[in-house]
Amino acid sequence: MEENREHYLDNSATTRVLPEAARKAAEVMVEEYGNPSSLHTRGFRARQELEASRETVAARLGAKPEELYFTSGGTEGNNLALFGAALAKKRQGNRIVTTLAEHDSVLGTVGELEKQGFEVVRLRPDSEGHLSEEQLFDAVNEKTILVSMMLVNNETGAVFPVSAAARAIRRKKAPALLHTDAVQAFGKLEFSPAKLGADLCTVSAHKVHGPKGVGALYVSKSARILPHTFGGGQEKGLRPGTESVPLICAFGEAVRLLPKASEAGPEMERLNGLLRGKLRELPEVTVNSPEDGLPYILNFSAGRVRAETMLHFLAEQNIFVSSGSACGRAKPSHVLEAMGLPKERISSALRVSFSRFSEEDDVLALAEALKKGLRTLLH
């Protein structure tokens, strides 16, 4: 292993931007700087760049370009989807079904809707992070107007049964729209919103080697949601404001260069399996991610060493992991709490997340440093 090499294993928090995507952003900023709403040639050229990116991202998502709305990222996309759906459907019912393991941007939004009088049902995952079809059928009723369930959990990698949610909505004849936060799944799992039965779907650029500050919300042509910001009518009035053409184009370039999930998947499975094998050699360590989870993410508890302590120890070795969601800094993991894990396991939990640029050396360096950290920090 190369000395002093950086081992970045926090890709669920963010990925490094592809040089090609960064160059595309710079090119558009400098050369195609027109406002895409302007009617002159410069505006038209900026609009062409923007719409080409919309087509690229939509194609990868298995959607039509007109079903895709650009946002500032996953948090705004989730807020727009949930508030927009609840307000559009409130005359048809009052119930919202979600899970206790969602991203903070979903939990915070449904919490606010609850304050406004909506009934919120939050489903609890089991000790491996799974949710069952039965839970969904029990929770959805004829008054349910919205179901929001992530496709891949950002802390454990557990894959949630979004298609089962669609079946529950149909069986109960509910007027509900189905939203899925697919931020961690996009580009890593083969899916399309239509095949899942989802009406709304959120994705983000900086999880797929694009820049921060841009994402997209899929809205099925058959779905209607209401805006909660107002302005000049951009993005068909759903998300008004001058579009960030450089970031959108960088997003499009990153998506254009994404390999198929089936091409990158086997290497992720190999790295995940290698790390699991190394962790089994450390009796103090317990894996929290399910065996059938997305292989890009592996969550485990490092014995009696607090996560923050181990995280800093690893960072001194140039190894970068996280102690959970980057949006939940310094808080115990609400996902692991929802799974009912003991406090000691929660307080020592670390998340490793791979990208297609991760290598075997990264896993071996982490395993060696963990062994050293457990030996050093427990005595």
Spatial CA neighbour of 70 closest among 255, 222, 195, 299: 255
* Residue 18 CB neighbour total at 10 angstroms: 20
Strand ranges of the sheet holding 177-181, from the earlier edge strand across to the other edge = 68-71, 215-219, 200-204, 177-181, 144-148, 95-99, 119-123
Q: Which of 59, 87, 100, 327 is catalytic?
A: 327
Spatial CA neighbour of 298 closest among 279, 314, 283: 279
| Chain centroid offset of residue 339 CA | 19
Spatial CA neighbour of 172 closest among 148, 147, 198: 147
Is 106:148 a contact under the CB 8 Å cutoff? yes
249 classed as catalytic: no
**In sequence order, which residues have a C-beta less than 8 Å from that of residue 159 and are 6 or more positions away?**
151, 152, 153, 185, 189, 292, 293, 294
First CA to last CA distance, the chain: 27
Catalytic residues: 327
